[in-house]
Amino acid sequence: MFYTYIIRCKNNSLYTGYTTDIVRRMNEHEIGINSKYTKANGFLKLEVFFVSESKSKAMKLEYYIKKLNRQKKLWVIDNPLDFIEEVEKDFQIELGVL
């Protein structure tokens, strides 16, 4: 499984990434390793994550989310199921959210 996620940093900015191990990756963000951005801006919390069956799909979703403006990213956080429907329709990919 592959995970695409959005986290909130201590400065209230949003960071998007992907990983194969969501727990490990959140721990890395918390202690400030393997990400210059979260090391500089601090990790506050995991806002939302999506599950993909392949690395390719997770990376495409990460790229898609990174192109969104802040307002749309906040909408994704508040409406993950609606976002999944939108993305699945546009890209013909299946996602899950936990």
pTM score, two decimals?
0.89
pLDDT > 80? residue 91: no
Distance from C-alpha of 83 to C-alpha of 98, rounded to nearest angstrom = 14
Distance from C-alpha of 36 to C-alpha of 58, rounded to nearest angstrom = 21
42's torsion region: left (phi>0), alpha (psi -120 to 50) or beta?
A: left
pLDDT > 70? residue 60: yes
pLDDT score recorded for residue 94: 54
List domains and CATH numbers for the chain. Answer: 2-97 (3.40.1440)
pLDDT > 90? residue 86: no
Averaged pLDDT, 69-74:
98
pLDDT confidence bin for 85, thresholds 50/70/90: confident
